[in-house]
C-alpha cells in the first residue's frame, strides 16, 4: 500500500541516504496515489520510473515542439502498457468495409476547429479505459456520441462495455483488441445501450465479460460509416463536419509521456497502428505548425487533460494518424 512506500522512504531518509531521485519518486507516489504491496514491488516500480525519468529528460533535451513528463503510466511494466493498445493492426476483411469513401476534392474548410469547446456540448468528458485493450470501443462510442449530438441535438453517453462484451461476431476481441469499423457494424443492428444501463467494468477486471446486452435498452444505432482519404485536406474537411475516429502508434515513450505542445517527430512516434483515438479538432501553432487535436482514453490525468496535439504531415502522418480515418452516421 502507499503507506508502505511512504514508510520505506522515511526510513531511507532517516539513514541519510535520500537523494533527489528518491524525493522525486516520493512526490510521484503521492501525486498519482500509487499503491505498492511489498518491498519487491516498490523496487520494481522505482526501477521502471527511473528508466522513464532518463528517457523523459532526454526527450525534453532533444524535442523542441513538445514537453514530456510523468503520468500514471510512468511506473508500469511494458506488459501493462501494451494492454492499453487494442487497435488491431490486421488485414481488413468484409467486416471492416465502409459504406462510403470521402475525398475532399477542393472543398473548403475552416482555419481551425475544436469540437470540445462547442456549446451546448457535443463531446463527452475524457474517460479511462483502464487495463483493457478497449481503445477501439472508446473511439467508436465517442465518435458515435458526437455524431448524434451534432446532427440530432442529443449528447448521449454510450456503453463501451456493450461493444467490448458483445461485438465478437464482427471480429472484435474485447480486451484483446478490435477496430471501430467493426464496432459500428455491430451497432447497425444492435442499438447501443447507455453507460448507465451497461456500465464499463473491463478496465478493472481486465476481462471482456459475457454479453449482457438488452435490446430494449438500446438508445443509439449506426446508419453508416465512411472512410476518409489520407490527405490532410480531406481529413480536416471531415473533422470540420464532426469528430472522426483515427488510429495511431502509441507504444513509444515519446507519445506516452506527452504533456503539452505538438508531437511533430514522425520517426520518434512511428506509424505502426496500435491505438484508436478520436480527432476532435485541428489548428495551427504559430511556432510548430498545423496539428490535429486528439482525444485519448487514458484518463484526464494523461497528456494535456486527456488530449494531445499531433502535428500534420503527408500520409502516413505523424504517429500514422492519416492512415485509418473514419466518421460515423448515427440514428
Same domain, 219 and 101: yes
Same domain, 56 and 111: no
If pLDDT is split at 50, 70 and 90, which confidence band does 31 have?
A: very high
In percent, the amount of the chain with pLDDT more than 90 equals 89
Q: Is residue 168 part of a domain?
A: yes
CA gap 175, 208 in Å, rounded: 5
Per-residue pLDDT, averaged over 292-320, amounts to 98
pLDDT in tens, 159-185: 999 999 999 999 999 999 999 999 999
Per-residue pLDDT, averaged over 283-293, amounts to 98
Same domain, 47 and 176: no
pLDDT recorded at residue 20: 81
CA gap 150, 119 in Å, rounded: 11
Domain boundaries, position 13 = 2-68
| Domain termination residue (choose one: 68, 92, 124) | 68
Q: Which one of the listed residues 190, 275, 319, 322 is annotated catalytic?
A: 275
CA distances from 56 to 61, 68, 83, 256, 297 (A): 9, 6, 21, 10, 21
pLDDT recorded at residue 19: 75
Same domain, 219 and 310: yes
The answer to whether 34 and 42 are in contact (CB under 8 A) is no
**316 pLDDT exceeds 70?**
yes
Same domain, 47 and 146: no
Q: What stretch of H or E contains 121?
A: none
Same domain, 157 and 306: yes
Q: Which one of the listed residues 135, 175, 269, 319 is annotated catalytic?
A: 135
Task: Domain count for the chain, please give it.
Answer: 2
Q: Which one of the listed residues 162, 232, 296, 322 is annotated catalytic?
A: 296
pLDDT in tens, 34-75: 999 999 999 999 999 999 999 999 999 999 999 999 999 999
Among 202, 317, 308, 326, CA closest to 255: 308
Please give the mean pLDDT across all residues of the chain: 93
| Domain termination residue (choose one: 20, 49, 68) | 68
Same domain, 59 and 91: no
**Whether residue 135 lies in the annotated active site:** yes
Same domain, 9 and 154: no
**13 pLDDT exceeds 50?**
no
CA gap 192, 218 in Å, rounded: 5
**Residue 207 CA to its chain's centroid (Å):** 19
Same domain, 61 and 103: no
The answer to whether 302 and 250 are in contact (CB under 8 A) is no
Q: Is residue 302 part of a domain?
A: yes
**Cα atoms found within 13 Å of the Cα of residue 96, Cβ hemisphere only:** 16
**Cα atoms found within 13 Å of the Cα of residue 121, Cβ hemisphere only:** 10
The enclosing domain of 150 has a CATH number of: 3.90.70.10
If pLDDT is split at 50, 70 and 90, which confidence band does 226 have?
A: very high
Q: Is residue 73 part of a domain?
A: no
| Domain termination residue (choose one: 68, 101, 122) | 68
Give every CB contact of residue 288 below 8 A, 6+ residues apart in sequence: 65, 261, 262, 264, 311
**1 pLDDT exceeds 50?**
no
Same domain, 25 and 159: no
If pLDDT is split at 50, 70 and 90, which confidence band does 3 have?
A: low
pLDDT in tens, 106-149: 889 999 999 999 999 999 999 999 999 999 999 999 999 999 99
**Residue 245 CA to its chain's centroid (Å):** 10
Per-residue pLDDT, averaged over 8-19, amounts to 52
Alpha helices in 35-178 (DSSP H): 39-62, 78-82, 135-152, 160-166
Residue position matching grid coordinates 494518424: 321
**Whether residue 296 lies in the annotated active site:** yes
Amino acid at each position: 500500500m502507499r503507506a508502505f512506500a511512504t514508510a520505506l522512504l522515511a526510513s531511507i531518509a532517516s539513514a541519510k541516504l535520500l537523494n533527489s531521485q528518491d524525493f522525486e519518486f516520493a512526490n510521484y507516489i503521492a501525486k498519482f496515489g500509487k499503491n505498492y504491496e511489498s518491498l519487491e514491488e516498490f523496487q520494481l516500480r522505482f526501477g521502471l520510473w527511473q528508466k522513464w525519468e532518463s528517457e523523459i529528460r532526454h526527450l525534453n533535451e532533444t524535442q523542441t515542439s513538445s514537453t514530456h513528463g510523468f503520468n500514471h503510466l510512468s511506473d508500469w511494466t511494458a506488459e501493462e502498457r501494451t494492454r492499453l493498445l487494442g487497435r488491431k493492426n490486421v488485414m481488413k476483411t468484409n467486416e471492416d468495409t465502409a459504406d462510403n469513401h470521402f475525398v475532399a476534392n477542393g472543398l473548403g474548410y475552416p482555419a481551425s476547429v475544436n469540437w470540445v469547446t462547442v456549446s451546448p456540448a457535443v463531446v463527452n468528458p475524457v474517460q479511462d479505459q483502464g487495463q483493457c485493450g478497449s481503445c477501439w470501443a472508446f473511439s467508436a462510442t465517442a465518435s458515435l456520441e458526437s455524431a448524434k449530438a451534432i446532427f440530432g441535438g442529443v449528447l448521449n453517453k454510450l456503453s463501451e462495455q456493450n461493444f467490448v462484451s458483445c461485438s465478437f461476431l464482427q471480429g472484435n476481441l474485447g480486451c484483446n483488441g478490435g477496430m471501430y469499423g467493426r464496432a459500428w457494424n455491430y451497432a447497425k443492428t444492435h442499438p447501443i445501450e447507455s453507460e448507465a444501463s451497461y456500465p464499463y467494468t473491463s478496465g478493472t477486471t481486465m476481462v471482456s465479460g459475457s454479453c449482457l446486452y438488452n435490446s430494449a435498452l438500446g438508445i443509439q444505432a449506426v446508419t453508416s460509416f465512411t472512410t476518409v482519404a489520407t490527405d490532410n485536406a480531406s481529413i480536416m474537411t471531415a473533422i470540420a463536419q464532426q469528430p472522426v475516429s483515427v488510429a495511431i502508434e502509441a507504444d513509444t515513450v515519446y507519445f506516452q509521456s506527452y504533456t503539452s505542445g505538438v508531437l511533430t517527430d514522425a520517426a520518434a512516434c512511428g506509424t505502426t497502428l496500435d491505438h484508436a483515438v478520436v480527432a476532435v479538432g485541428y489548428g495551427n501553432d504559430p511556432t510548430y505548425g498545423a496539428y490535429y487535436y486528439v482525444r485519448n482514453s487514458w484518463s484526464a490525468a494523461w497528456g494535456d487533460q486527456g488530449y494531445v496535439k499531433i502535428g500534420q504531415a503527408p500520409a502516413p502522418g505523424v504517429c500514422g494518424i492519416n492512415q485509418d480515418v473514419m466518421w460515423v452516421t448515427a440514428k
